[in-house]
Structure 1
Amino acid sequence: MHPAPLNRPLADLPPACEVLVVGAGPAGSAAARTLARAGVDVVLIDQQAFPRDKVCGDGLIPDAHRAMAKLGVLDEVMALAQPVKHLRCIAPRGGRIDVPGTLAVLPRRQLDLVLCRAAAEAGARMHAPLRFIEPLEDAGRVVGARLQGHDEARAPREIRARWVLLASGAVPQASLAAGVCDRRTPSGVALRGYVKNDAMVGRITELEVAWHRRLKPGYGWIFPCRDGVFNIGVGVAQSHRRDALGRHRMLDVNLREVFAAFTEVHAPARELMEGGTLLGELKGAPLRCSLEGARRSRPGLLVAGEAAGSTYALTGEGIGKALETGVLAAEAVIEGQRLSLGDDAVRARYEADLAALKPRFAIYEKASSVNERPWLVDLLVWSARRSPRRLQRMSGVLEETHTPANLVTARSFLRMVFER
């Protein structure tokens, strides 16, 4: 049996489909697979041919595992991934706690290819490289899109669709063109690279996230991949702040300087870099967090994944919630078709589903205060090491089996940490 074709050319693009999914990352591929499995006619496009690299920490936390199981791809992903048992939080003074969880690491080049293939095998027609130029509109409703192939000299093509699902990631061009971008600047920025260092195999076995005053308002990470390769990077999850005129501007932060500081203050990072080989370049990328920065829908169009801000503010993890939002968008469309619902009802369902996720993002948004106050991590480590129950509570937050009630103030966050 031959695998379903990927990267179909612009010339083979059909004139119409039921749903056009823009972006074949986790959110877009999850949406396309869910729709195709339900018998919906889906076209999935991406501006890059697959496989392709994607700047990311590559960590798969529990929500990603659940979403992949629902999509039926978990076994295939885990056959390629490096399983991990703990999220290790490392405080400025060297203290650490290992929060148990269902975790793994798989480079996005491999993960996204698995997800995209799964969508194609379910029946979605995947075309790339195609760039989304603008939506087609009729009386204010999105009814398709105008697309450009890699050859800019050739005329763009149009495709009509009953729904367009925008899963175009953190870069805002597609959201701007679609009229749903509320904020051009990202929530955060990250810089990462891959390092080959066989001597560190067995020494770095967990998802390590480290805080230090020299890294604020950010953090550093090392995540172990397979075959002696490690994902190492730094991030600033709240890199752009509103100024006195209401405009979002980037903080005076140089990520390469933060990365250099990480290798100085965190011994494993220093040893990894000094004794290893950097595979390719350090690469940077924007982050969109906390379900903010874009409208979630407009007539005929739903926004999913990082285009909708699906990344967690504390550590920049967004794969799981990108998958989840993609599935939710697809399910809203499927229900709309099954029940012959109008646009407003489909959009209302999807918006309500995203609103139900907001408390999870609030947890990470409030917890991200440790990035600016790394001494709070010292308190957190001290507290968790004194009480197994507190560590269990932190594991529950990671696994999403425990959501602290009324998490809207720093006091309530500290209550979660310190209450017996």
Structure 2
Amino acid sequence: MNDVSAPAPSVLPARCDVLVVGAGPAGSACATLLARSGLDVLLVDQHSFPRDKVCGDGLIPDAHRAFERLGVADEVRAAAHRVGHVGCIAPRGGRIDVPGSLAVLPRKELDHILCRNAQRAGARFLAPVRFDAVLKDGLGCVAGARLRAQAALYEVRARWVVLATGAVPQAMLAAELCERRTPSGVALRGYVKNEAMVDRITEMEVVWHKRLSKGYGWIFPAPGGVFNIGVGLAQSHAKGVDGRSAMQDVNLRQMFDTFCEVHGHARELMAGGEWVGELKGAPLRCSLDGARYSRPGLLATGEAIGSTYAFTGEGIGKAMETGLLAAEAILAEPQDEVAARAHYAAALATLKPKFDLYEKANKVNDHPWLADLLIWRARRNPRILRRMEGVLEEKNNPGHMVTPKGLLRLFMPIRG
């Protein structure tokens, strides 16, 4: 099936069962499950596909579980660059390789796979179409949306609207769901092609250093001798004395240059590499915080509601997971809007503790010496390495490793 990238105004339907706005991982996952169940689903995006998306492109175990459920696991595996470990590198150079089910695939390709899959399931995809505002019925419930296509406005009525519009807050503001304009973090990434480094950088690398300003750097090997290289800043918007959040005084480009100074692989990659595209920045929304999840007739999902993990910046798998939860809520209570919203809220409530634990683990970004300690001990104690592997697989608590009790255990004698 071919993607529709430039709809004529007459193509926009007047009605559908569910209008999903945003065809990234969350929106496409939601649209796929709904369309498979026989609902009339219209999926729209403000960009024609395939389109670029600023991301680290790392696929960890939760993403692979979602791919299996969506039926695209084989297609993703065929396109992605598979890796066996995440190399965690401490400020003093210590390194530990944490094994896991991992891969790297640029979002331009991944999101196109997921969007095509939604179409195969029966969803209609139209782009470029921009969300303008919600439509309301006489009781104030959302009854559809006003969409902009080819400079004209059109009204689409729907039983449900699902917003999966990402970290930029404009759509959530228009829908009156945004509670915090400022993001949780920011990131800057680019693609560099360097065939000479293919055998040198074989795993994902995440680097902490005291000069990286409460953030981290990464290099992820992608298909075709290309590497995703970038820096991220957690808790980028701190509260000032006036109680308002404002961007910290950090220059991301300067942070990127510093990363390339302090990390040998980054320095070598840049010295002999060729840019593929340009450095691009993007906001991050983390910890299921900063937005309401729903209002009558509307659910929000994905990074629009903060589906990215703090500390690591991982968000692809959790975006798909929240999109699937939104679809499940609609399908579970097809005739009861109040019950559907309650179903969705309860499902997200079961996820929230995981996000809170990653907020606790953010201490490593605030205090890079913790990475030195954790990695030093993990190199000497296989049980700590297994705990780190469990964190990657979402079987262990990342916050426990940086609590006072967890840190005390690191100093205890190694047994067994």
Note whether the superposition's TM-score is higher than 0.5: yes
Deviations 1:8-31 (A, max 9, x none): 514301101010001000000000
Counting only pairs closer than 5 Å after superposition, residues 13-412 of structure 1 correspond to structure 2 as 13-138=12-137, 139-149=139-149, 151-152=150-151, 154=152, 156-337=153-334, 340=335, 342-403=336-397, 410-411=403-404
* Aligned counterpart for 2:4 among listed residues 6, 29, 33: 6
Distance of 2:277 and 2:354 partners within structure 1: 35
Distance of 1:6 and 1:210 partners within structure 2: 40
Distance of 1:70 and 1:414 partners within structure 2: 37
Question: Could you tell me the percent identity over the aligned residues?
Answer: 64
Change (3 A) 1:175 1:417: farther
TM-score, normalised to structure 2's length? Answer: 0.96
Contact 2:329 2:344 in 1 (8 A): yes
Distance of 1:76 and 1:214 partners within structure 2: 40
How far the C-alpha of 1:207 sits from its partner, in A, is 1.0
Contact 1:220 1:235 in 2 (8 A): yes
Distance of 1:379 and 1:408 partners within structure 2: 10
Distance of 1:412 and 1:57 partners within structure 2: 32
Deviations 1:232-256 (A, max 9, x none): 0001021001222221101000000
Pick which of 4-13 and 177-186 moved more.
Answer: 4-13
Q: How many residues in Structure 1 have an aligned counterpart in Structure 2?
A: 411
Distance of 2:33 and 2:359 partners within structure 1: 29
Deviations 1:132-161 (A, max 9, x none): 000001212111000001x32x3x000001
Distance of 1:176 and 1:317 partners within structure 2: 24
Give the ranges of 4+ consecutive aligned residues of structure 1 lying more than 4 Å apart after TM superposition: 406-409, 415-420
How far the C-alpha of 1:222 sits from its partner, in A, is 0.1
| AA partner of residue 372 (structure 1) | D
Contact 1:390 1:418 in 2 (8 A): no
The secondary structure found in structure 2 opposite 1:54 is coil
TM-score, normalised to structure 1's length? Answer: 0.95
> Tell me, which stretches of 5 or more residues in structure 1 are unaligned?
none
| RMSD (Å), alpha carbons | 1.6
| AA partner of residue 69 (structure 1) | E
The secondary structure found in structure 2 opposite 1:227 is helix
Pick which of 408-417 and 302-311 moved more.
Answer: 408-417
Change (3 A) 1:96 1:203: same
How far the C-alpha of 1:418 sits from its partner, in A, is 6.6
How far the C-alpha of 1:412 sits from its partner, in A, is 5.3
Change (3 A) 1:336 1:379: same
Change (3 A) 1:412 1:71: farther
Deviations 1:154-213 (A, max 9, x none): 3x0000010111100000000000000000011010000000000000111111000001
